[in-house]
Amino acid sequence: MGALAVARVFGDSTSTDGTAILTSHDSSGGHHAHHPPAPTYSRSSCSPPVDTGKLITAVADLDYQLHSTLRQLPEAIAEARAAVAQGTVDTNRDKLITGIACLIAAISGKLGVLYNKDPLALSVGDQLSLAAQTSWGYGYWGPFLLDLGDSDPGCGIEDFNKVVAEYSFITSLHQTYGTDISQAGYASGEADDRPELRAYYLAEFGRKLKLELHCITSQAGSSSEASKVVSLIDKYVKMGQERLELTAELM
C-alpha cells in the first residue's frame, strides 16, 4: 500500500507531492487530544501549614549544635582516656600492696615449715605442709599480682577520627542538605540523601563510635569522664535525627 493510500486510511491529508502528512485526531474528530497534567503531591488540607522560616531557623540552630558537640568529643575522649588510665594505675597499686603482703605471708608460712629442718630431707608430713602452704599462699597473692592491668586503655582520639572520616556523609548534614529556602531547605536530589536513610546511618555511626571507644565507654558506670563521652555521642545522634526529621518536613 502506497503512502497516499496509507494517508487515506487514517484520514490524513497529503502534500502536493503525494507524501502523507500524519495528523492526530481524537475519537470526536477534534485535533490533538489533551492529556491531564501529572499529579502533584501536597500536604493534606487537614495538616497545619508549615512555617518554613521557623523550620529553617531550627535546622540552622541544630547544625550549629551538632558541630559544637562533635568538636567537644576529642577533648572529652582525651580526658576520659587519662581518667581510665589513672584508674588502672591506682588499681594496680592497690593490687600490688595487697598481693605483696599476701606473698610475704605465704613465704613466712613456708619458712615456718622449714625452720631448723633440712629442705632436702623433709618427712612426708613436712612435704605435705610445705605444699599446702605454697598452694594456700598462691590462692591469696596470685589473684592480685597476676591481674595487673595495662595502664594504656587501648583506644582514643585516633579511633574517633577514623570513625568520623568513615561516616563523613553523616557528620556534614549542613553540606548535604544546605539551607536554601528556595528549595525548601532541601538542596540535594540524590536518592542516598533521603532523610530516613541518613537517619539509619546516623544511628549506626553512634553504635560504631561507642564500639571503637569501648575501652572508654565501657567505664561509663564508674567514670564520670567516660560517662560524658557516652552522653555526647547520644546527644549528637539524637540532635542529628531531629535535624533529619525537620529536613523531611521541608522536602
C-alpha grid cell, residue 236: 549528637
**Mean pLDDT across the chain:** 74
pLDDT in tens, 133-189: 777 777 777 777 777 777 788 899 999 999 999 998 888 776 666 655 445 445 555
pTM over 0.85: no
Gap between the Cα atoms of 181 and 178, Å rounded: 9
Cα angle value 131/135/136 (rounded, 5°):
115
Looking from the CA of 109 toward its CB, the CA atoms found within 13 Å total 19
Listed in sequence order, the DSSP H helices in the chain are 3-9, 52-114, 124-145, 157-166, 173-177, 195-212, 214-217, 224-250
Q: What residue ranges do the domains of the chain occupy?
A: 52-250
132-159: buried (b, 16+ CB within 10 Å) or exposed (e) per residue? ebeeebeebbeebbeeeeeeebebbeeb
pLDDT in tens, 20-79: 433 333 433 444 444 444 333 334 444 555 567 787 788 778 888 999 999 999 999 999
